[in-house]
Amino acid sequence: MVIIKLALIFSIAVMGALGAYLYELLARTKYLSGSTSIGLDVISGFHILSLVSIGVIILCLYKKTMNLAFLEPVLIFSLLIEVSFIGLNINGTVWYITK
């Protein structure tokens, strides 16, 4: 149970960092009025880290390791970060560099 709680704390920290990176990307695109390019490894890493963190949060919801009133907003925040980044990829605001 302690390992799951530590994984949850690490996942929350990772999602906070990904949220800050998403905000930085929005600032680089002048809040969706332009576009920017980043490496394909950065895009893949963002999605992998986000999905692993969301998986840990869902596992903690299933195991009821913490209060649900705390975990549900964290899950919603995490899903919003991932969906926002997917939207930026789909509409072409953030695109990858080919080498």
**Which residues fall within 8 angstroms of residue 42, CB to CB, at 6 or more apart?**
none
Phi, psi of 38 (to 5 degrees): -135, 165
Beta strands in 1-99 (DSSP E): 36-39, 94-97
pTM: 0.90
The domain segmentation of the chain, as residue ranges, is: 2-90
pLDDT, tens only, 30-82: 988 888 889 999 999 999 999 999 999 999 999 999 999 999 999 999 999 99
| pLDDT score at 99 | 63
What one-letter code names the amino acid at 96? Y
